Amino acid sequence: MQWNYEQALTAEGWRRDVAVSIDAAGLITNVAPDSPGVGTPVKGAAVPGVANAHSHAFQRALVGLTEHRGAERDSFWTWREAMYRLAATITPEDLNAIAVQLYVEMLKGGYTAVCEFHYLHQAPIGGRAMGQAVIDAAARTGIDLTLLPTLYMTSDFGGAAPNEGQKRFVHSVEDFLRLRGDLQADGVVMGTAIHSLRAVPPAALAQLLAGLEGDSPIHIHIAEQRKEVERCLEVTGARPVEWLLANAAVDSRWNLVHATHVVETEMAGIRAAGATVVLCPTTEANLGDGVFPAEAHLSASGSISIGSDSHVSVNLAEELRLLEYGQRLITGERNVLSSVGEPHTGVRLHKAAAAGGARSSGRATGVIAPGTRADIVVLDTDAAALFGREGDNVLDAWVFGGFADPVKDVMVGGVWRIIGGRHGREDEIADAYRAAISRLKSV
Ligand code: ZN
């Protein structure tokens, strides 16, 4: 099949009348700019799809319920209690309904794949129904899935036993590896997640890593909260990233989620290992985590990817905008995350997120070029925010002109999943989601 994009961001930059050939497996086989009349025309501005590098789908059901202060001052840790209460009640059917709705929202928000950091396992231990609910949700919507079954064993550094709210997350390493094997599925990239250094003791981490094969992605929550860094220092004598780099063979498979609180030597170590830092700006802002030193990391050619994590927002442009705005508020400057080589901030951040998302998801994506998956997002150049914009200014307008999302059409693996801003099944999916939310409310 062959499509002709009115304008597209290719590996060589913006081009017009771009004919893109796609094979039956959903891979791009040829990209031919300046080819008017070749292939079926697609109006608008085409950019590479981006993988959402960090998702806990069930947390979508918590949105709006934690934005008020309790009796004490609110924090990540009080939010976590509310999240545990929700987690305790969710059935596989609930998770499927929530994830299907969420994945439609992701496609409509400019994401073409999702890395699902899956720790809400089934009770009793070993059941695969919760993981299957996620796999089925991705298949129903057409988003590409990288499933990250998550090992979770303890409640704190030093091997503290899991508390009541965490019991459903817990496995032995052997049971975990068996579950991971049981969840293999066609079309799903199977990665691995370590919940955090809090949740996996050193011996178990070594045992897990010894049991993993191949080059599939490994994800870990690493340094989200200051309290976590302090506890790690108390118990191990090292900061979390410092400890991980010293005790695991960190390489380009690794994705350090919320490497928020890092010092320069840790950042240099992450880059030397070729690991990716996964940033979730809206969730990190919502939870009061802190601000990652993104300017230093990007200017030293560090890799980043973007996740929507708790899904307080499911919008790629908003994540990129907030990432830049955090830096502006700290430095008192503008266009902090641009560079001499890539002066357009929106373009540089989108390219970084696309390239990093490919690494985080373990898929050949992030650029419209032969040999990569045909994951393509088409922006509506007739939308008010984009009107009259060309090339790099289109992407800048998408990222910074945030009042209406101009994502029009979305292709995943050569198949159109969003057309004219709508998913073909979104009404029935929304009905099922409403039913699940009502059920959870009454629990
Ligand atoms: Zn997370």
Handedness of CA 413, 419, 424, 430 (dihedral sign): positive
In this structure, the answer to whether residues 389 and 268 fall within a common structural domain is no
Report yes or no: 353 and 50 within 8 Å, Cβ to Cβ.
yes
In this structure, the answer to whether residues 43 and 69 fall within a common structural domain is no
In this structure, the answer to whether residues 233 and 200 fall within a common structural domain is yes
Please name the amino acid found at residue 272.
A
In this structure, the answer to whether residues 110 and 219 fall within a common structural domain is yes
Start-end of H helices in 216-312: 226-236, 240-247, 264-273, 281-286, 294-299
Options 289, 309, 396, 409, the catalytic residue: 309
Among 361, 387, 410, the domain boundary falls at 361
- Of 109, 135, 100, 131, nearest to 425 by C-alpha is 100
Note residues around ion ligand 1 (Cβ under 5 angstroms).
309
The per-residue pLDDT for 183 is 96
If one counts the domains in the chain, the total is 2
In this structure, the answer to whether residues 58 and 156 fall within a common structural domain is yes
The answer to the question of residue 432 being in a domain is: no
Backbone angles phi, psi at 302, to 5 degrees: -75, 155
The answer to the question of residue 441 being in a domain is: no
Bridge-partner residues for 151, per DSSP? 194
In this structure, the answer to whether residues 345 and 421 fall within a common structural domain is no
In this structure, the answer to whether residues 22 and 71 fall within a common structural domain is no
Range of the domain at 92: 50-361
The answer to the question of residue 434 being in a domain is: no
The answer to the question of residue 261 being in a domain is: yes
The answer to the question of residue 431 being in a domain is: no
The answer to the question of residue 437 being in a domain is: no
The per-residue pLDDT for 125 is 66
The per-residue pLDDT for 442 is 67
In this structure, the answer to whether residues 331 and 271 fall within a common structural domain is yes
The answer to the question of residue 12 being in a domain is: yes
In this structure, the answer to whether residues 262 and 295 fall within a common structural domain is yes
Among 305, 326, 361, the domain boundary falls at 361
Options 258, 261, 311, 350, the catalytic residue: 258
- Of 145, 117, 104, 144, nearest to 58 by C-alpha is 117
CATH of the domain at 218: 3.20.20.140
CA of 116 to the centre of ligand 1 (A): 9
In this structure, the answer to whether residues 273 and 413 fall within a common structural domain is no
**What 3-state DSSP class applies to 420?**
coil
Among 311, 342, 361, the domain boundary falls at 361
Q: Is position 311 annotated as part of the catalytic site?
A: no
Q: What angle do CA 403, 404, 409 make, to 5 degrees?
A: 155
CA of 310 to the centre of ligand 1 (A): 7
The per-residue pLDDT for 262 is 97
The answer to the question of residue 443 being in a domain is: no
In this structure, the answer to whether residues 241 and 352 fall within a common structural domain is yes
CATH of the domain at 391: 2.30.40.10
One digit per residue, the tens of pLDDT, for the chain of length 443 reads: 999 999 999 999 999 999 999 999 999 999 999 999 999 999 999 999 999 999 999 999 998 888 888 777 788 888 888 888 888 889 999 999 999 999 999 999 999 999 999 999 987 666 899 999 999 999 999 999 999 999 999 999 999 999 888 888 999 999 999 999 999 999 999 999 999 999 999 999 999 999 998 899 999 999 999 999 999 999 999 999 999 999 999 999 999 999 999 999 999 999 999 999 999 999 999 999 999 999 999 999 999 999 999 999 999 999 999 999 999 999 999 999 999 999 999 999 999 999 999 999 999 999 999 999 999 999 999 999 999 999 999 999 999 997 788 999 999 999 999 999 999 999 999 999 999 999 887 65
CA of 2 to the centre of ligand 1 (A): 38
Q: Is position 258 annotated as part of the catalytic site?
A: yes
In this structure, the answer to whether residues 169 and 284 fall within a common structural domain is yes
- Structure-token match 């490497």, residue found: 259
